[in-house]
Structures are given as C-alpha cells and as structure tokens.
C-alpha cells in the first residue's frame, strides 16, 4: 500500500572547518562547508540499502514528504509521487538520502552564505565550483553517515550530471546509476541559454557586482533568467496544448506591452515566484558549473571504469522524446560510450510531450521503470 513518508525534517552536516579547508577543483579553498540534506526510510544493519538522489539545478533536498510547518499538506517534496512506502523508490526497503548541492541557497553553503572571514555574504567572493566539487561534498556526507556503498545514485538534469560524476569519481561505491534527462556535457545550445540567463542577472542594476544582499535584489534580471529557463524545460507541443495563442483575461489585443497572451502571463508568474525562493548568484554559479561539466572521456574506453570487473556499475539511462534541452541523441551517445567501456547498460526513451521537465511530472511509466530496475539490483 502506497503512502507518504509523512513529516520530514531538514538536517545539516558541516565539515572542512579551518585549517582543514576543502580544496576545490579550481584550486581555491572553502570552509567550513554545510550541506543540507534529508533522509527517508531506515538504514539497514549492513548499510547496503542506501540510495542517493541528486536534484536538478534549482531543486533542493526536500524530495518527499512534508514539513511540520506546511499547511494542509502543501508543498510536498519534488519527487513525492516516487518516494515513500510502497512507491517506486520504496522507503520500506531503502534508505534514501537527498543532499542540497554546494553553491545552492537552500541550506547548503553558497554565495549567499556568510563568509566567516568577513561576516558578510560571500557574493562573488564565493569560489567557482564544479559538478565534481558538488559530488565530493556529497561523498563527505555519505562518509559521515558511515555508508561505504550506495545501492543506486539517481538524478535528473543537473542531478543526472552528478550521477555520472559519482560513477567517474567513486565507481567502487556505486552499484547502480540512473541518469535521467541528462547529458555527458552541455551542447552549445544549452550553454547559450545559460549565458542569456547569466547576462540577464548581471545586467540588472541591482545586481551590484553580486553585492546586493543588504539592499534591493536583482529581481528583474533573475525573473527573466527563470523565464528563459522555463522555455527550455517545456516543449513546443506542451506550450501549444497549455497556451496556444490564447489571450489572458481579455478579448482583444491591448496594442501595448502589458502581456496579452497566456504564455506571457505564465512566464511572468514563474519569474515572479522564483525571485522569492532562489538567489541570483546561485544561478550564476550553478549554471556555470553545469557548463563546465564534461565526462565524455572519463565515461569512455579510456576512463576509470574500463578493464576492472570489480568496478562494473549497472546503468539505466532514461530520456524523454520531447526533451530538446538534453535530447535523446545525447542519451544514446552516453549509452554507446558506456557500452564501449564494457558497462552493463539499459536504455529507455519515454514518449512524453511535456519536454525536459517530464521527469518531474507524475508518470507511472517512470515509477515502474525505476522500481523494477532498483529492486533487481543484487545486494552485496
């Protein structure tokens, strides 16, 4: 019988306190570092039933259940339909961990955090980080939980990049990997959209070179960045079905710039919501980290997985037919690369017309796919 994980609580893990600061891939030092995370289910005696979930770029650690402060069960976790007793990722069987990524503003250390050296938010003094840095901090959390092997690492979009990074950096810890709606490296198109988002933020007069925390924030630039992102998350068919050319609360054109069309109103609404929950500088850092990400060579025949049977990882690569941000051809390139390196790879393209965000939409096909795959992994 399926049910919710119920009331959950965000937890925090802090490490790398001076003088033992964390050295990032850029060579910069950072510390102390706090990682916000949530867990669901119970870690078994052998500590071999843990699953790590990696969230997308603007997501957070709240992947299932509700907080005690929520009203009437509002604001469930972003994958609540998938995680819980009897669900696709069954918390009666598995211990699920979801950390908030480094550089975010949802509990983990990022540019909006207080710099202990100055007593003020880091702003642009926060060092540039990578997807690899995010995964290394997640590894520190897993070590803190005294878990030496993960049954599976699962994530979509930027979360899928973290999944692949886990496989490259810590192949001996990962039994199975489920990268969903993701890529081995950004295309020029994806980088271009990220750059438009960054430039819209930096062009806002309130951005103040990242030092806006004591005054007006770059809300207009951040809202436009979110609007751009939402266009890439949808598909032509989804937008046609949802909006078409329908007008918003009017019968004729205004012959002005008030926003005549429903799609205009929708994008403005999404931008307005986003500025109240996310930090503009975090958008800059996380999008840049995703643009830097490139594991083509590491996942291939010359990578760390080749030739060592003890490092075999079972993969399930999932793509969506209408995803034009990370199209299916990129998922197939990942599958071919993994096969050439001798890995055990399954692949599924799910037919869906809602674009890149399809992996966040309740879909019984994804639920059954993940459930069958995870339950079929042999425990060590």
Q: Would you call 112 a catalytic residue per the annotation?
A: no
- 3-state secondary structure at position 198: helix
Mean pLDDT along residues 42-55: 97
Annotated catalytic residue: which of 80, 204, 279, 323? 323
User: pLDDT tens for residues 273-310?
Assistant: 999 999 999 999 999 999 999 999 998 766 665 656 66
**Element holding 267 (H helix, E strand):** helix 262-274
**Element holding 242 (H helix, E strand):** helix 236-242
Q: Would you call 187 a catalytic residue per the annotation?
A: no
User: pLDDT tens for residues 107-152?
Assistant: 999 999 999 999 999 999 999 999 999 999 999 999 999 999 999 9
Annotated catalytic residue: which of 157, 200, 235, 319? 157
- 3-state secondary structure at position 150: strand
pLDDT for res 373: 97
pLDDT bin (cut points 50, 70, 90) of residue 63 is very high
* Bridging pattern class, strands 89-90 and 95-99: unpaired
Measured between its terminal Cα atoms, the distance across the chain in Å is 27
pTM over 0.85: yes
Residue with tokens 């696709």: 88
Neighbours of 263 (CB within 10 A): 20
Q: Which residues pair with 7 in a beta bridge?
A: 66
Domains and CATH numbers, the chain: 11-185+293-375 (3.40.50.1820), 191-287 (1.10.1740.110)
Which range, of 87-96, 197-206, 217-226, 250-259, averages the lowest pLDDT? Answer: 250-259
- 3-state secondary structure at position 233: helix
Annotated catalytic residue: which of 80, 356, 357, 363? 356
User: pLDDT tens for residues 223-233?
Assistant: 999 999 999 99
List of E strands, the chain:
11-15, 22-23, 29-30, 33-40, 50-54, 83-84, 89-90, 95-99, 114-115, 120-121, 152-156, 176-180, 314-320, 344-350
pLDDT for res 71: 77
**Element holding 372 (H helix, E strand):** helix 364-375
CB 286 within 8 A of CB 57: yes
Any residues with CB less than 8 A from the CB of 213 and at least 6 apart, and which?
Answer: 112, 120, 121, 123
Q: Which residues pair with 314 in a beta bridge?
A: 176, 344
Q: Would you call 322 a catalytic residue per the annotation?
A: no
């Amino acid at each position: 019988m399926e049910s919710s994980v119920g009331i959950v609580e965000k937890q925090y893990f802090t490490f790398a306190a001076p003088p033992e600061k964390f050295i990032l891939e850029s060579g910069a030092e950072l510390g102390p570092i706090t990682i916000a995370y949530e867990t669901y289910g119970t870690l078994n005696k052998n500590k071999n039933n843990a699953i790590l979930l990696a969230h997308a770029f603007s997501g957070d650690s709240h992947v299932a259940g509700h907080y005690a402060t929520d009203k009437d069960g509002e604001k469930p976790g972003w994958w609540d339909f998938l995680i819980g007793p009897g669900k696709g990722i069954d918390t009666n069987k598995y211990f699920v961990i979801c950390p908030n990524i480094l550089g975010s503003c949802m509990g983990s250390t990022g540019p909006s955090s207080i710099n202990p050296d100055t007593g003020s938010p880091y702003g642009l003094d926060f060092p540039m980080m990578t997807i690899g840095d995010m995964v290394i901090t997640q590894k520190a959390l897993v070590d803190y939980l005294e878990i030496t092997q993960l049954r599976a690492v699962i994530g979509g979009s930027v979360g899928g990049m973290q999944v692949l990074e886990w496989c490259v950096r810590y192949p001996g810890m990962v039994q199975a990997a489920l990268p969903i709606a993701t890529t081995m490296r950004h295309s020029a198109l994806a980088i271009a959209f990220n750059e438009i988002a960054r430039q819209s933020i930096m062009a806002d007069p309130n951005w103040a070179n990242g030092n806006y925390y004591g005054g007006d924030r770059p809300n207009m630039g951040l809202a436009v960045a979110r609007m751009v992102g939402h266009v890439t998350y949808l598909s032509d068919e989804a937008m046609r079905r949802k909006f078409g050319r329908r007008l918003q609360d009017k019968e004729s054109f205004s012959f002005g710039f008030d926003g005549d069309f429903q799609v205009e109103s929708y994008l403005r609404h999404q931008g307005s919501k986003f500025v109240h929950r996310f930090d503009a500088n975090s958008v800059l850092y996380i999008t840049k980290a995703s643009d830097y990400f490139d594991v083509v060579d590491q996942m291939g025949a010359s990578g760390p997985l080749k030739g060592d049977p003890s490092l075999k990882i079972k993969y399930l690569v999932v793509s969506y037919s209408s995803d034009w941000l990370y199209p299916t051809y990129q998922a197939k390139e990942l599958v071919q690369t993994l096969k050439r390196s001798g890995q055990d790879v399954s692949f599924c393209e799910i037919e869906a017309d809602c674009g890149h965000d399809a992996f966040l939409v309740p879909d019984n096909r994804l639920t059954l796919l993940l459930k069958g795959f995870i339950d079929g992994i042999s425990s060590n």
